[in-house]
Structure 1
Amino acid sequence: MFKKLLSSIGIGSATVDTKLTKAQYVQGETVEGVVDIRGGNVEQHIDEIYLALVTTYIREIDDKKFEEKAVLARYKVSDSLTIGPNETKTIPFQFALPYDVPVTVGTSRVWLQTGLDIKMALDPQDRDYLAIEPHPLVEAFLEAVRQLGFRLRHVQCEQAPRYWQRRLPFVQEFEFKPVSGPFKGRLDELEAIFFVSEHGVEVILEIDRKARGFAGLLSEALDMDETLVRFTYGPSDVASLPQRLANAIGRHS
Structure 2
Amino acid sequence: MVFKRLLGSLGVGGPTVDTVLDPGAVLPGGSLGGQVHLRGGEADFTVEHITLELMARVEAEHEDGEAEGAIVFDRFTVGGSFRLGAGEPHSVPFSVALPWETPITELYGQGLGIVLGVRTELAVAGAKDKGDLDQLAVRPLPAQEAILEAFGQIGFGFRSADLELGRIGGTGQQLPFYQEIELTPAPQYAHQMNEIEVTFLAGPAGMEVVLEADKRGGLFSGGRDATSRFTVGHHGVEQIDWHAEVDGWIRQMVEHRASYGSYGHGAAHHEGHDGHDPYAAHGSHAHKGEHGHGDHHHGGGHGHRSGPGMGTVVAAGAAGLAVGVVGGMVAAEVVDEVGDFFEGDEEEEGGED
Q: TM-score over 0.5 for the alignment?
A: yes
Greater mean alpha carbon deviation, residues 70-79 or residues 5-14: 5-14
The 5 Å alignment of 1:192-231 reads 192-214=198-220, 218-220=221-223, 225-231=224-230
Q: Deviations over 1:148-197 (max 9, x none)?
A: 111111100011246267222211011111143x3232221111111112
In 2, are the aligned partners of 1:14 and 1:124 still within 8 Å (CA)? no
Q: Distance in 2 between matches of 1:143 and 1:197?
A: 21
1:54 is aligned to 55
In 2, are the aligned partners of 1:16 and 1:124 still within 8 Å (CA)? no
1:22 is aligned to 23
Q: Distance in 2 between matches of 1:56 and 1:9?
A: 34
In 2, are the aligned partners of 1:112 and 1:127 still within 8 Å (CA)? yes
The 5 Å alignment of 1:74-89 reads 74-89=75-90
Q: CA deviation at 1:103?
A: 1.4
In 2, are the aligned partners of 1:36 and 1:91 still within 8 Å (CA)? yes
In 2, are the aligned partners of 1:9 and 1:121 still within 8 Å (CA)? no
Q: 2:161 aligned with 1:155, yes or no?
A: yes
Which residue, out of 168, 181, 188, partners 2:175? 168
Q: Distance in 2 between matches of 1:184 and 1:127?
A: 42
Q: Distance in 1 between matches of 2:150 and 2:94?
A: 37
Q: 2:190 aligned with 1:184, yes or no?
A: yes
Q: Distance in 1 between matches of 2:124 and 2:94?
A: 20
Q: Secondary structure of the equivalent of 2:189?
A: coil
Q: Distance in 1 between matches of 2:62 and 2:31?
A: 36
2:146 is aligned to 140
Which residue, out of 113, 121, 130, partners 1:107? 113
Q: Mark the CA change 1:160 to 1:6 in structure 2 (over 3 Å): closer, same or farther.
A: closer
Q: CA deviation at 1:20?
A: 1.9
1:128 is aligned to 134
Q: Distance in 2 between matches of 1:116 and 1:213?
A: 61
2:292 is aligned to none
Counterpart amino acid of 2:251? G
Q: 2:123 aligned with 1:117, yes or no?
A: yes
Of Structure 1 and Structure 2, which has the larger fraction of its residues in strand?
Answer: 1
Counterpart amino acid of 1:15? T
Q: 2:232 aligned with 1:233, yes or no?
A: yes
Provide the aligned length of Structure 1 versus Structure 2.
241
Greater mean alpha carbon deviation, residues 31-40 or residues 20-29: 20-29
The 5 Å alignment of 1:84-95 reads 84-95=85-96
2:33 is aligned to 32
In 2, are the aligned partners of 1:115 and 1:123 still within 8 Å (CA)? yes
In 1, are the aligned partners of 2:54 and 2:117 still within 8 Å (CA)? yes
Q: Distance in 1 between matches of 2:237 and 2:25?
A: 27
Q: Distance in 2 between matches of 1:10 and 1:112?
A: 29
Q: Secondary structure of the equivalent of 1:103?
A: coil
TM-score by length of 1: 0.86
Q: CA deviation at 1:91?
A: 1.2
Q: Distance in 1 between matches of 2:213 and 2:76?
A: 38
Greater mean alpha carbon deviation, residues 167-176 or residues 21-30: 21-30
Q: Distance in 2 between matches of 1:65 and 1:210?
A: 24
Q: CA deviation at 1:198?
A: 2.6
Q: Secondary structure of the equivalent of 1:133?
A: coil
Q: Deviations over 1:189-247 (max 9, x none)?
A: 11111111232221111122222322xxx232xxxx22111111123355232212212
Q: CA deviation at 1:144?
A: 0.9
1:65 is aligned to 66
2:265 is aligned to none
In 2, are the aligned partners of 1:21 and 1:32 still within 8 Å (CA)? yes
Q: Distance in 2 between matches of 1:162 and 1:178?
A: 23
Q: Mark the CA change 1:242 to 1:10 in structure 2 (over 3 Å): closer, same or farther.
A: farther
1:41 is aligned to 42
